[in-house]
């Protein structure tokens, strides 16, 4: 605890205990993930589990139990989904505790950092620049206090607050300091709803999820007429009701891509866990998908390319008659919560004892200066030279020279009074030159983005020449042509073109950052924005993916989808790569599942129209599906993948699934039809021939989807082939799966037709590019 330099002491320990006992506490809902019971319900009580469960009951009634193997697959899939999501929940819950905003609260005359849940009614909470208002209340102290209420009202201009004014949770301190007394806590405060929405564990608002839901809806509706057609056609074969029901179940079960939704959830959950291990908090699961689509990353220089700390490199007096050192020390001592620039001055110049403060203007990103008035020593300002001085002032020549060397330059100046009109009228006293510390990992990270076709835009509020010098030192292409944002056009189309043509921008206002994000999005880009200050809140909120630093303001952390808890810019490549891995692999395995849906639908229709016995038992399709889709898809879904995701997921998958499914169904039915014409073979042998053809075609589809090959992918395909041979020729295994490959003529026909089908698939893939080539 530290002594609170304030008048109001806050609540006593006894008063806090009384409010806790009465339930007047800030019992906000957990913001990182849904409950364990909700996870179980979400994975168990699904539409497709209900369908598969019903079909499983049918098999339990008519038997044999071997044909109910698909029921065990659903149990295993559901268990995997629950386990993976619970792992993700634990990761999110643990990281959320690290990344959550911690209010400073006065208790018994002292100030301490507490968790948001420890707040009680009537607590006195202190506020500083960039901090979030977590509960509603009334201002009891105000020192040039300005709140950003844009998340509540949509208005971007800061609102001045004085004693007695209301403050709303969800707003942020834009400038100044103060304190407020909590008037509404818990679910009565707006912050509870804001936090609940910001951190909900969900898959909503995702092109991938919407596409899968649309496909699965179509499948559900198709199952009804197909099921009716199958049962009628099977009854016509005089094979008996139990066999007719087994044929219907076999056709319908295969149509359900039951593992696709599971693997989607697992891939997202594993992505959350992997990023969590890198101290990266994913506050919204759709961010995983958004990361895969990012093609422009907007970076702030301070805190991203450079470290937060700075050092005073030089002070150049411009008026030798003024007490420069004392003024710097006094300005540093006037702000109880200095930013990084002022902290460097505080470290270098102690505050003089005989400079009592009479008025203070806290730093504001909008006006870009701070200041204070002192008894008997006048008014002093510290801020951006090109803002405090009129355009063309001779001192700005020195400023540009220093900025071109990558140095940050502040102007110490005198003024007649503290007012918004001080800019442009200040009298220069000295130039304060600050040296920024480059992040050791920044250059390598910029090279990664360049190699991944992700454009990097450095957008900073600092002097353009200074920003350009830093970017050039890090090897960023185009850094030599830094642009002063004050000369950028306001028209969105023209601004977008300027952003396309240039890389580094200085003197960017918070409103311009937001406009830049919108201009890039209007040109079809998926934009990730990084930031750590309250001036980044609007652009973080509007970007497709907002990335905040863990040590940044509570404002930036609250609105960002991704929080880098270790403040390491070098984590970003891992974040982008994880997003690409997840989405690229989901699309890869979706090809497998939907090919199965297509060939199951067509085989059911062909069987129904021809009124022949269904060519498979349920256990046959369970075996084929497990070896060519289920097991391989699990490994492929978690494999490396670096290709940036593109829009149009559903059309792209269907372009492969439909022709692939047509070839598989046609080849299989042709084999089965020819086998049935061979009166020397039994129904079991004919079905075995159909199994052989379908497996060989399906394994070739797997071989196409698994490209480009690596040793483990080749081994995976070989292992699936070996497992099928065991099921086909090891007697007790073959009996279990009802496989009887004794008719060599049928088997030869099955292999030959399968080879023709594989050749057609290969020609189609090479000729029309059904599946996009994905990088290993």
One DSSP character per residue, 737-769 reads: TT--TT-HHHHHHHHHHHHHHHHHHHHHHHHH-
Q: Is 148 a catalytic residue?
A: no
User: Nearest Cα to 180, choosing from 108, 148, 132?
Assistant: 132
Length of the chain: 776
User: Nearest Cα to 738, choosing from 636, 572, 649, 616?
Assistant: 616
Instruction: State the number of CA atoms in the 13 A half-sphere of 332 facing the CB.
Output: 22
Residue found by looking up tokens 């005198």 in the block: 414
Beta strands at 166-167 and 545-549: parallel, antiparallel or unpaired: unpaired
Q: Could you give the residue ranges of the DSSP H alpha helices within 490-566? A: 492-501, 510-522, 537-542, 554-559
Distance, in Å, from the CA atom of 670 to the CA atom of 754, rounded to the nearest integer, reads 10
Of the listed 148, 300, 335, 536, which one is catalytic?
Answer: 300
Distance, in Å, from the CA atom of 178 to the CA atom of 142, rounded to the nearest integer, reads 4
Tokens of 401: 């020279």
Q: Work out the number of other CB atoms within 10 angstroms of the CB of residue 171.
A: 24
Beta strands at 527-531 and 296-299: parallel, antiparallel or unpaired: parallel
Distance, in Å, from the CA atom of 730 to the CA atom of 623, rounded to the nearest integer, reads 15
Distance, in Å, from the CA atom of 677 to the CA atom of 657, rounded to the nearest integer, reads 30
Q: Are 250 and 691 in contact (CB under 8 A)?
A: no
Residue found by looking up tokens 């022949």 in the block: 612
> If DSSP codes are grouped into helix, strand and coil, which group holds residue 364?
strand
Longest dimension (CA), the chain: 115
Distance, in Å, from the CA atom of 761 to the CA atom of 656, rounded to the nearest integer, reads 10
> If DSSP codes are grouped into helix, strand and coil, which group holds residue 504?
strand
Q: Are 461 and 535 in contact (CB under 8 A)?
A: yes
Over 95-116, what HEC string results?
Answer: HHHHHCCCCEEEECCEEEECCH
Tokens of 53: 């469960």
What is the crossing angle of helices 618-625 and 69-99, to 10°? 40
Cβ neighbourhood burial of 238 (10 Å; 0-12, 13-18, 19+): exposed
User: Nearest Cα to 56, choosing from 40, 83, 75?
Assistant: 75
Tokens of 77: 């899939």
Q: Work out the number of other CB atoms within 10 angstroms of the CB of residue 510.
A: 23
Element (H, E) at 429: strand 427-438
Q: Are 104 and 111 in contact (CB under 8 A)?
A: yes
Q: How far apart are the first and last CA of the chain?
A: 53
Q: Which residues are catalytic?
A: 300
């Amino acid at each position: 605890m530290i002594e609170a330099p304030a008048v109001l002491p806050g609540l006593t320990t006894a008063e806090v205990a009384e409010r806790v006992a009465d339930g007047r506490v800030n019992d906000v809902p957990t913001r990182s993930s849904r409950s364990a019971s909700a996870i179980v319900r979400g994975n168990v009580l699904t539409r497709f589990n209900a369908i598969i469960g019903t079909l499983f009951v049918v098999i339990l009634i008519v038997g044999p139990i071997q044909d109910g193997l698909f029921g065990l697959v659903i149990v295993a899939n559901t268990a995997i989904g629950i386990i993976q999501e619970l792992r993700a929940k634990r990761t999110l819950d643990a990281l959320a505790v690290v990344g959550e905003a911690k209010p400073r609260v006065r208790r018994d005359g002292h100030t301490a950092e507490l968790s948001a849940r420890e707040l009680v009614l009537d607590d006195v909470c202190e506020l500083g620049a960039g901090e979030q208002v977590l509960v509603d209340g009334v201002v009891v102290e105000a020192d040039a206090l300005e709140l950003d209420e844009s998340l509540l009202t949509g208005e971007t201009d800061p609102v001045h607050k004085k004693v007695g004014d209301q403050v709303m949770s969800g707003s942020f301190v834009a400038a100044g300091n103060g304190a407020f007394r909590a008037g509404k806590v818990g679910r009565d405060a707006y912050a509870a709803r804001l936090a609940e929405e910001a951190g909900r564990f969900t898959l909503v608002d995702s092109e991938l999820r919407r596409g899968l839901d649309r496909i699965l809806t179509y499948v559900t509706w198709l199952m009804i007429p197909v099921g009716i057609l199958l049962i009628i056609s099977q009854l016509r074969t005089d094979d008996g009701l139990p066999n007719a029901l087994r044929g219907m179940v076999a056709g319908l079960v295969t149509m359900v891509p039951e593992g696709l939704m599971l693997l989607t959830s697992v891939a997202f959950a594993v992505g959350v866990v992997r990023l969590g291990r890198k101290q990266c908090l994913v506050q919204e699961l759709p961010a995983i998908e958004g990361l895969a689509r990012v093609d422009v990353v907007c970076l702030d220089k301070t805190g991203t390319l450079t470290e937060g700390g700075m050092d005073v490199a030089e002070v150049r007096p411009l008026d030798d008659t003024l007490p420069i050192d004392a003024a710097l020390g006094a300005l540093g001592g006037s702000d109880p919560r200095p930013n990084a620039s002022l902290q460097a001055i505080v470290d270098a110049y102690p505050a003089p004892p005989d400079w009592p403060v009479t008025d203070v203007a806290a730093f504001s990103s909008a006006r870009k200066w701070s200041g204070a008035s002192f008894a008997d020593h006048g008014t002093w300002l510290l801020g951006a030279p090109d803002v405090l001085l009129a355009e063309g002032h001779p001192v700005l020549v020195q400023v540009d020279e220093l900025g071109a060397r990558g140095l940050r330059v502040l102007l110490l100046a005198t003024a007649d009074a503290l007012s918004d009109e001080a800019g442009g009228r200040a009298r220069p006293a000295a130039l304060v030159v600050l040296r920024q510390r480059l992040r050791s990992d920044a250059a390598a990270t910029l090279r990664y983005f360049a190699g991944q076709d992700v454009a990097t835009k450095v957008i900073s509020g600092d002097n353009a020449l200074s920003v350009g010098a830093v970017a050039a030192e890090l090897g960023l292409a185009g850094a030599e042509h830094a642009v002063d944002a004050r000369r950028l056009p306001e028209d969105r189309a023209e601004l977008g073109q300027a952003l396309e043509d240039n890389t580094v921008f200085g003197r960017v206002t918070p409103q311009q950052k937001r406009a830049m994000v919108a201009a890039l999005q209007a040109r079809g880009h998926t934009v990730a924005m990084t930031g750590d200050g309250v001036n980044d809140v609007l652009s973080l909120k509007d970007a497709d993916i907002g990335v905040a630093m863990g040590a940044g303001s509570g404002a930036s952390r609250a609105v960002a989808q991704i929080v880098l808890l270790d403040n390491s810019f070098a984590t970003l490549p891992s974040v982008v790569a994880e997003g690409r891995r997840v989405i690229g692999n989901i699309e890869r395995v979706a090809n497998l599942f939907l090919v199965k849906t297509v060939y199951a639908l067509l085989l059911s229709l062909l069987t129904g129209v021809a009124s022949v016995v269904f060519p498979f038992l349920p256990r046959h399709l369970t075996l084929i599906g497990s070896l060519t889709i289920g097991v391989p898809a699990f490994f492929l879904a978690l494999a490396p993948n670096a290709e940036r995701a593109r829009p149009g997921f559903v059309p792209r998958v269907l372009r492969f699934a439909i022709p692939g499914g047509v070839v598989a169904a046609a080849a299989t039915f042709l084999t089965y039809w020819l086998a049935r014409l061979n009166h020397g073979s039994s129904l079991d042998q004919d079905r075995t021939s159909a199994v052989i053809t379908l497996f060989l075609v399906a394994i070739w589809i797997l071989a196409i989807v698994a490209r480009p090959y690596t040793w483990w992918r080749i081994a995976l395909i070989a292992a699936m082939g070996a497992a099928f041979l065991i099921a086909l020729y090891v007697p007790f295994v073959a009996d279990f799966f009802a496989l009887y490959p004794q008719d060599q003529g049928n088997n030869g026909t099955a292999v030959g037709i399968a080879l023709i089908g594989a050749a057609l698939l290969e020609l189609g893939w090479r000729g029309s590019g059904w599946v996009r080539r994905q990088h290993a």
